[in-house]
Amino acid sequence: MHKLWIYAVIFFLSEEWFLTQGTTNSNVIVNTTTSPLKVYVNRNEAFNLGSDARLICSSKTWTKAMFVIWKIKLKHKTCKISFSREGQSSNSCNDGKSIQNSTDQSFLHIPNFSVNDVGVYKCDTAYKGGNENYNITVGVTVPPIVSAWLERRGNKMVAVCRAERGIPAAYISWSVTGNQSVTQQNNPDGFITVESQLEVPEDTDHANLTCIVRHQLWERERTETPKFRAANSLMMGMRIAAVFIVIILGLLIFALRKWRCQQ
């Protein structure tokens, strides 16, 4: 989870108040009368692609809550889900999202989290003595698809390593040093592709050449050994064969002309 900012305000009839410093980046303003407690929370969260997400709206137990309302703003739609202790409920999302209650707390359940679930989730909870307002910006974490290969460009050997369609962007490095360039493509659907190209030094042993990819979702780095693609290998073979054919034809033409001169 990312940083959490909590602002709790108690409003009273008196104008006397004081400020106390909370814990973990929180500020609490307390007045000295007896109005209902109001809590404002801004938070960022991210869930792995395909996971079952659980968004908690309040630190209060469900037995103390009077009602919960989720107002959800996604890229392609907005919807609302609500539930009260009296059993009244509504759900305009129609995509599997639902409010679930346990003996401890209420939470929003999002099954099979996808990029379509990314957005802003606002939650209001009322209970005896006050209410809590949460504003949660929700993102998704997606592992990239990694590939690596070698290319011949003129008289140079170039190694290419690509981390495709990941969120957030992956970081690419190499086991050897050399001239390299990195490009990043941000797709409209939110996925990010990173590509690194390395000009391989002539004295490099290809067996020791590896691409190293790191991503937020992985506990360990991934490595790939670049090799010539099948199409590139076939093209290279065809070029070599063409060179041999040209040489043989040249020798045959030379031999034929020499034979004619001797006649």
DSSP string, 111-165: SS--GGG-EEEEEEEEETTEEEEEEEEEEEEBPPEEEEEEEEETTEEEEEEEEEE
Closest CA to 74 of 134, 106, 114: 114
Q: How many domains is the chain partitioned into structurally?
A: 3
Confidence of residue 83 (pLDDT cuts 50, 70, 90): confident
What is the pLDDT at residue 237? 56
Whether the Cβ atoms of residue 193 and residue 215 lie closer than 8 Å to each other: no
Q: Read off the pLDDT band of 182 (50, 70, 90).
A: very high
Identify the domain boundary among 140, 173, 194.
140
Asked whether residue 260 falls in the same domain as residue 207, the answer is no
| pLDDT tens figures, 7-19 | 333 333 333 332 2
Range picked from 162-166, 177-181, 189-193 for highest mean pLDDT: 162-166
The reported pLDDT for the residue numbered 202 is 82
Q: How far apart are CA 145 and CA 157, in angstroms?
A: 23
Range of the domain at 158: 145-228
Higher pLDDT pick, 155 / 2: 155
The percent of residues above 70 in pLDDT, for the chain, comes to 77
- Let me know whether 162 and 96 are in one domain: no
Residues 24 and 46 in one domain: yes
Predicted TM-score (pTM) of the model is 0.66
- Nearest-angstrom CA–CA distance, 249 and 21: 88
Same domain, 125 and 224: no
| Better-predicted residue by pLDDT, 130 or 165 | 165
Of 166, 172, 171, nearest to 186 (Cα)?
A: 166
Residue 96 pLDDT greater than 90, yes or no: yes
